[in-house]
Structure 1
């Protein structure tokens, strides 16, 4: 017996439709973009500040250099001429009037009035400037300078004469034209004093054999005997690059004292005192030298050492 099996026909599956791509434009991308822009701006600003900072620093350094190289010759000449007039007078009314007129070339109108009675016609003295020593010219403010100086006066009264030495400080102004005017009267000051400083000395010879020391002394004695009247061409045999100039003096060599030698690589540092007799003044000249010597074909002075 045959059994007939009927199969249902397969139904075709419907194809699934793909969902369309959707581009989301949200706040996240905008925020990232803004951060990148901010970072770029910060970097550019930092670079700008760095360059402008260098430029400003450079300008500042140039300004300092200009101040340290201030030419004070004009100031010194102006103050010197003022001192000659201000501290000199005669016991004579006509001479005093002339002095007052001369001071108009140096003082402001206010200072002229202030100084009008400093030297009166009834004073019994006269004064003459003997010596002027300008110690220091120092910038105080824009175009304003202070000057410290010492003046020696010979003050006479009848037949009596006395030499006075005093130190003062005044203030002057320099116009853009280069002209000067004293804006503050001289005030008593103190002159520079001796500084408490001693230069470093070589205490003893180090690293130099006795034989080499003997050679060096022989070389130095020969050189310093010739040195006072030697020409520059003659000195070239003993000295490199004119580190010691020709002096053309009538000196008679006496001796070398306190020689100390120290080895420094291929060179020798020498510290010594040279004694000469000055044939003109008949006095003794005592000259201290710090020299650097080096041996090639012969010993030579190659540099002046630090004092």
Structure 2
């Protein structure tokens, strides 16, 4: 018998490999990178909002420096120095009165200064002095509550050995006064000779009428101003409003207009500026008053009006 061969084994079926799924990147707030991005975004937005509220716009914001002027009341110092000067510059050759003067100086000066001035006047002095006027020119604040005072004293000096008529003497001095926070004062420097203020020197301008203004215009304005200043001293508010823009307060004075003295005319845009001296006669005192005005006139139609200057 032939041996029967066993059938060949059937090959195992090959399993098909499933394709690997590619992992999709997960995007979400749980990722560290995403957290970092969100934090950066939030920080940027917050910083932008902060800068928007706090940044200075250099084009629209302008700083202003406000300077406050501090006014110092010098009335008390002026009164103190005036009372002192009346005592200091008044004397007569009488021992009792000189002693009283010396005692009164102690109300104003340091004791050392009172002692310094003890021998300034003797009982045999031939002169008598009275104070006729005291003028305070300047009170200048210094350091440590000190004020420097400049003043002038007018004295009437009578010398018994030379003449009977008092001689006027004018002298200017400076001294230092300390005023504490309670308002108490003391003089701690002796009156020292000083220079009084004098007349200031300035260059006077000679005004001339603009060559562009013709004689017809100057004549018209002169006629208008003559009419106005004739009415002005005694005119009512209702009458003056026809000559002055917005009206003006009445003077209620008994002045008589005499003339315009050397008026000059200058063009100021569409208006005319007039510099004029007006001569009035004061009927109450019989004195001639020279009043000076710089007026700006405007013309409406054929009529002139004073725009400003009164």
Common fold, TM-score beyond 0.5? yes
**1-structure distance, mates of 2:241, 2:197:** 40
- After superposition, residues 221-236 of structure 1 pair within 5 angstroms as 221-230=226-235, 234-236=239-241
Q: Corresponding residue for 2:167?
A: 162
Q: Corresponding residue for 2:294?
A: 290
CA 198–100 in structure 1, closer or farther in 2 if over 3 Å, else same? same
Describe the superposition over 1:251-290 as per-residue Cα deviations: whole angstroms up to 9, x where unpaired. Answer: 4432212111122234321101222344565554333221
**Alignment match of 1:260 (pick from 250, 259, 264):** 264
CA 139–237 in structure 1, closer or farther in 2 if over 3 Å, else same? farther
Q: Corresponding residue for 1:176?
A: 181
**2-structure distance, mates of 1:98, 1:151:** 21
Determine helix, strand or coil for the equivalent of 1:185: coil
Aligned length, in residue pairs: 278
Between 112-121 and 211-220, report the one with greater CA deviation.
112-121
Gaps of 5+ in 2: 1-10, 57-62
**2-structure distance, mates of 1:241, 1:76:** 43
Gaps of 5+ in 1: 1-5, 49-53
Q: Corresponding residue for 1:111?
A: 113
**2-structure distance, mates of 1:178, 1:16:** 99
Which structure shows the higher helix fraction?
1
**1-structure distance, mates of 2:247, 2:18:** 111
**1-structure distance, mates of 2:94, 2:258:** 57
**2-structure distance, mates of 1:178, 1:243:** 45
Which one has a bigger Cα radius of gyration?
2
- After superposition, residues 1-307 of structure 1 pair within 5 angstroms as 12=17, 61-62=67-68, 65-66=69-70, 69-158=71-160, 160=163, 161-198=166-203, 200=205, 202-205=207-210, 207-230=212-235, 234-240=239-245, 246=251, 248=253, 251-279=255-283, 282-296=286-300, 298-304=303-309
**1-structure distance, mates of 2:250, 2:102:** 49
Q: Are the aligned partners of 1:239 and 1:300 in contact in 2 as well (CA < 8 Å)?
A: yes
TM-score by length of 2: 0.70
Describe the superposition over 1:80-131 as per-residue Cα deviations: whole angstroms up to 9, x where unpaired. Answer: 2222222111222222223223323322333323333322322111111222
CA 222–275 in structure 1, closer or farther in 2 if over 3 Å, else same? same
Q: Corresponding residue for 1:3?
A: none
Determine helix, strand or coil for the equivalent of 1:219: helix
CA 272–97 in structure 1, closer or farther in 2 if over 3 Å, else same? same
**2-structure distance, mates of 1:106, 1:241:** 55
Q: Are the aligned partners of 1:232 and 1:246 in contact in 2 as well (CA < 8 Å)?
A: no
CA 127–285 in structure 1, closer or farther in 2 if over 3 Å, else same? same
Q: Are the aligned partners of 2:237 and 2:249 in contact in 1 as well (CA < 8 Å)?
A: no
Between 231-240 and 177-186, report the one with greater CA deviation.
231-240
CA 291–126 in structure 1, closer or farther in 2 if over 3 Å, else same? same
**1-structure distance, mates of 2:199, 2:92:** 36
Aligned-residue CA RMSD (Å): 4.1
